[in-house]
Structure 1
Amino acid sequence: MSVLAEHHVAITIDHSPHPIRLDVSRHTLEMDEEWIPYVQATVECPLGDGGVLVVDPQASDVWATIQTRRLLGRVDRLADFTRRYRGRTLHALSLEFAGQTLAGITRATYHDYTDPGHLRREDARQWRVMLREISADRKAATVTLTLASGEARLNDWQHMSATTDRIPGANLVEKVNFILERCNLPHVTYAPASVPSDAEIGDEALRSPGSSALEFLTGLTRHHGLMLWCDENAQWHLAPDRTRLVTRELRSAGLDRSVINEVSKRSRDDGWITAVMVIYTWEGQDYYDVASPYAPNPEKALILRYNRPYPGPGLAAQILARVLGRGRALELLAVSTYVASPGESVAYITPRETVTGRLAAIRWQFPDDEMSVRLREVGAA
């Protein structure tokens, strides 16, 4: 059942001697499995006395925790109803509730959980992210914080040497942990039971001058069919993909409806890939790893370049298998819920059909009680 909700959002910034807690007046928070960093957020807070401006993201690594709480079942009925339907026309409301009984409309728009056996429920979640930028607007009396998951920290360390450096470690996980530790980041929490040894990795462990830690680790892990990412809890994962073994239902009709709009898209410009070419440049020589059906045009290629020894073919085929089907997408606008995450399977149930897809990205906007969901690999159930 869709119900009215009350949202509370706050951010706590790590700071000595005491953490700084700010109430959030507006935020956009996104999780996207096609992005690096995986989590990105922009948070606007009242400036207050300006005490938060002592925080300097250039002076040291600053981490923060965004906390969201969604309380279901408010008692301020008139105010909630007004906020939900402000600006809507009578015609739009008639279309939304067409065919519904008065009792059905009541259940679909409000339930205060005051009946026996019904308790007020809470939907809460938090994100552990790194502060990347702080901006104060004195006239508006606001401070805006830009934050991201731990991958952003890996971009802050370039290999500033004129010679290559061999990353130590007996296997892939130890090499990844060496880099993470040098960036003041925790070790990998989740990894396969078996990973390539140092001997199997070979010259791939050589880090070239000027390369960022993110560039080096991305190339190293991808060649072995793995991805490295930092989740919303600041925990590092090393896995073939971000798949979560969860199937979530979203509905656009009935008493349990939460989707209020959908936009389907088939694009040649957004996500459509039919071939992959990986170019390795090492000691003045280029090496090519290509995966393509070599069919007649159109052929839309993703080109990746790495300054590292050529490890042999294979990476291009792995990436192509991962990105095929991204050109078909379904964008859903729904009532916010903080339990969904990229990598989950979604069954989108409409009056016409049931569509399945992979949840590739999700964006929450506060104070709007709305989330935008992007599904990839879309097809009929």
Structure 2
Amino acid sequence: MAGLTQHTTRVAIAGEPPIDLPVLDGQISMSDEWIPYIQGDVTCPYTPEVDDLDPQAADIWVTLTVTRSHGRTDRIRDVSLRYAGKTLAAITTEFAGRTIAAITRSLYHDYETPGAARHDELRTFRLMLREVRVDHAAATMTLKLASGEARLTDWDHMGPNPDREPGANLVAKINHMLALAGFPAGLASYPSSVPTDAQIGDEALRTPGQSALEWLQQITRKHDLIAWCDEAGLWRLASSRNRSASRSLTSLGSDRTIVNMTEVRSRDVGWVTAVMLVYTWAGVTQYDIAYPGAPNPEKAKIVRYETPYPGPGRAARMLAQLRPRGKAVTITAVSEPIITPGETVIATTATGTRTGRVASVTWRLAADQMTITLREVA
């Protein structure tokens, strides 16, 4: 395989004091194709400290840290045994002329390459606690977690009339809504140029019964933008989540990490040749339709909205996003915690090479494996 590594995961539940626990099992997923962007569940040893945890009573945030280690560092006990019986003068002589960095490296032991000094790979997720499930017989508990979009699904507009979110432009309106939903920092990044209040029009209206997340999708949709909450708990606004990073995986030779790779071309899952969006507002229904070529497309996706008509164009953009989903490559490989949706992966097996954009990645924590779904496959 590509090297000997150790994979560990811990959770820290926010509180006074915080509750820190090892993760026994579970999975975490990041996906461009569903909301919330990050979802998962982890199983930990039960502790009575969690008896007062109530996700219905307050917003509770959990920090999940996934670590891939290439070696280990001596513990205090190891150092004590290493220098047992030696005088301070003898120890000083051993390290004479060596730098602090060299002394530090002497305490690290690489699993595969003696003398190497490879850093641990860490990924931290700040996620909202959605559910606590305690198994008293097994003395374990399972935490259901999700990124910040889940918080917006909890907040519905309960007034009898539509409300218009205030703000001079798109960013100001989104920041106002996020602050009310418990995210006072607002957007951490956004385009340099965004629509003004006048350009936004009726998409700024929040209708009775509409969730904050539905409103957020409505107001960004027309302008080819998406808003999401990343693994750090920061909100982003951009035209896509695509990233410039490219990663290579292989099932061949000593660098192999791929366990299996499957390729699917389907008429039943994901494949569409047309999109129809139906907008109904104030008793008026309007349509935005996109399909290339033939007057009778074979497979259409129809979406209905109880919102003002934002104008044409969204259907065509949605079709462009959906058409690649009828083809997919799924890769099972040794976990790499840094892989992220939007990156490019080049996968090589005995049957050839496939290149695609990461649509989703799921880490199975106990198995130390990940499953990656690639779209836009070449």
TM-score of the two chains, using structure 2 as the length reference: 0.87
Aligned CA distance change for structure 1 residues 296 and 258 (closer, same or farther; 3 Å): farther
Q: Tell me what 1:57 maps to.
A: 55
Tell me which amino acid in the other structure corresponds to 2:162.
T
Q: Tell me what 2:375 maps to.
A: 376
Q: Tell me what 2:333 maps to.
A: 334
- Distance (whole Å) between structure 2 residues aligned to residue 312 and residue 297 of structure 1: 23
Consecutive unaligned residues of structure 1, counting only runs of 5 or more, are 76-110
- Distance (whole Å) between structure 2 residues aligned to residue 278 and residue 3 of structure 1: 50
Q: Tell me what 2:10 maps to.
A: 10
3-state DSSP of counterpart to 2:192: coil
Deviation at 1:14, TM superposition (A): 0.9
Deviation at 1:115, TM superposition (A): 2.3
Q: Tell me what 2:195 maps to.
A: 196
Q: Residue by residue, what CA displacement relative to the aligned partner does 1:51-103 show, whole Å, maximum 9, x if unpaired? A: 1121110001111100111112479xxxxxxxxxxxxxxxxxxxxxxxxxxxx
TM-score of the two chains, using structure 1 as the length reference: 0.86
Deviation at 1:147, TM superposition (A): 0.5
Consecutive unaligned residues of structure 2, counting only runs of 5 or more, are 74-109
Tell me which amino acid in the other structure corresponds to 2:340.
S
Q: How does 1:338-357 map to 2 (within 5 A)?
A: 338-357=337-356
Deviation at 1:177, TM superposition (A): 0.8
Q: 1:128 aligns with which of 126, 137, 143?
A: 126
Tell me which amino acid in the other structure corresponds to 1:245.
S
Deviation at 1:280, TM superposition (A): 1.2
Instruction: Count residues in correspondence.
Output: 341
Check whether the contact 1:11–1:21 (CA below 8 A) recurs between aligned residues.
Answer: yes
- Distance (whole Å) between structure 1 residues aligned to residue 310 and residue 368 of structure 2: 48
Check whether the contact 2:225–2:237 (CA below 8 A) recurs between aligned residues.
Answer: yes
Q: Residue by residue, what CA displacement relative to the aligned partner does 1:291-323 show, whole Å, maximum 9, x if unpaired? A: 112526662222222222112111111111122
- Which segment drifts farther, 2-11 or 327-336? 2-11
Q: Tell me what 2:163 maps to.
A: 165
Q: Tell me what 2:97 maps to.
A: none
- Which segment drifts farther, 55-64 or 301-310? 301-310
Check whether the contact 1:28–1:43 (CA below 8 A) recurs between aligned residues.
Answer: yes
- Which segment drifts farther, 159-168 or 343-352? 343-352
- Distance (whole Å) between structure 1 residues aligned to residue 58 and residue 299 of structure 2: 42
Q: Tell me what 2:114 maps to.
A: 115
Q: Percent identity?
A: 49
Q: Tell me what 1:219 maps to.
A: 218
Q: Tell me what 1:181 maps to.
A: 179
- Distance (whole Å) between structure 1 residues aligned to residue 159 and residue 257 of structure 2: 54
- Distance (whole Å) between structure 2 residues aligned to residue 240 and residue 124 of structure 1: 28
Q: Residue by residue, what CA displacement relative to the aligned partner does 1:320-345 show, whole Å, maximum 9, x if unpaired? A: 11222111001110011111000001
Q: Tell me what 2:95 maps to.
A: none
**Structure of greater Rg:** 2
Deviation at 1:20, TM superposition (A): 1.1
Q: Tell me what 1:99 maps to.
A: none
Deviation at 1:21, TM superposition (A): 1.1
Check whether the contact 1:332–1:374 (CA below 8 A) recurs between aligned residues.
Answer: yes
Deviation at 1:149, TM superposition (A): 0.3
Check whether the contact 2:291–2:297 (CA below 8 A) recurs between aligned residues.
Answer: no
2:239 is equivalent to residue 240 of structure 1: yes
2:43 is equivalent to residue 47 of structure 1: no
Deviation at 1:37, TM superposition (A): 0.2
Check whether the contact 1:67–1:125 (CA below 8 A) recurs between aligned residues.
Answer: yes
Q: Tell me what 2:105 maps to.
A: none
3-state DSSP of counterpart to 2:120: strand
3-state DSSP of counterpart to 1:313: coil
3-state DSSP of counterpart to 1:358: strand
Check whether the contact 1:242–1:343 (CA below 8 A) recurs between aligned residues.
Answer: yes
Tell me which amino acid in the other structure corresponds to 1:14.
A
